Every structure is written in C-alpha cells, then in structure tokens.
Amino acid sequence: MPVPLYQAKAEFFRMLGHPVRIRVLELLQDGPMPVRELLANIEVERSNLSQQLAVLRRSGIVTSAREADTVVYSLAGPDVAELLGAARRILTELIAGQQGLLDELRATQPVGAPTRGR
C-alpha cells in the first residue's frame, strides 16, 4: 500500500467536513441544481456558498456548467449517495450509543462517586 494514500483519504474526508458542503451534496443527490436554487435552500450568503462550491469543485466531487445566466452544479459520480448513507448509519449508531450511555449514567446514582467519567 503506497504511503500517501492515507493523506488522500484524509483530505477527502476533510473536504466533506463542512455543513454547507454536506447540504450541497445532499441537494445534488436529487439531480443537477443551479446556484440560485442552492442558495434558496441553504442559509448562507452568496459569496460564502461560492467558496464552498469552489472547495467541492477542486476536489472533483462536483462539476459546474454555465447555462445562459446561471451556473448549474452536478455530482461528478454516482457513489456519493452510498457514502452519505454509510455516514448516516454510523452517526445513528453513535448517537444511539451515546443515548445508551446517558441512560446508564442517569440510572447509576453513585455514592462514593467514581469521578472518572471522561
């Protein structure tokens, strides 16, 4: 396994690590969408959206095309839905786990107090 692969993977995930970028990818799952419409669906100012779109474009996960006076964005490939799905499953799992932990904490009323919960 070549060494810099971990670097590429990490960069890829970092590219996904922003709420606006996530929303864009989710919106694009239903098909191509002009910037105007993205802007209407996401609470962010135009220039900030542009910055985030630029990040996505640079990574290659989306493509853009000009159509008359608007710019339309699309997903570059089909596997994005799968990725977001897997992420959602893990998140659900993690949140469920934390919920379980909370329940546990609520149920256990310590006397001597273990005082080591981190």
Q: Order of strands, edge to edge, in the sheet holding 33-34?
A: 33-34, 70-75, 62-67
Nearest of 46, 57, 59, 48 to residue 14 by alpha carbon: 59
The interface with a second copy within residues 25-84 (CB under 8 A) comprises: 57, 59-61, 76-77, 79-80, 82-84
Give the residue, chosen from 2, 17, 31, 114, that forms a contact with DNA under the rule CB under 7 A: 17
Whose Cβ is closer to DNA: residue 54's or residue 95's?
Answer: 54
> How many whole angstroms separate alpha carbon 21 and alpha carbon 69?
23
- Judged by CB under 7 A, does residue 66 bind DNA? yes
Give the residue, chosen from 3, 30, 45, 113, that forms a contact with DNA under the rule CB under 7 A: 45
For the bound state, the minimum distance from the C-beta of residue 111 to DNA, rounded and expressed in Å, comes to 19
> How many whole angstroms separate alpha carbon 88 and alpha carbon 16?
13
Q: Which stretch binds a second copy (CB under 8 A): 29-37, 87-95, 104-112?
A: 87-95
In contact, 32 and 74? CB cutoff 8 Å: yes
Give the residue, chosen from 36, 87, 99, 105, that forms a contact with DNA under the rule CB under 7 A: 36
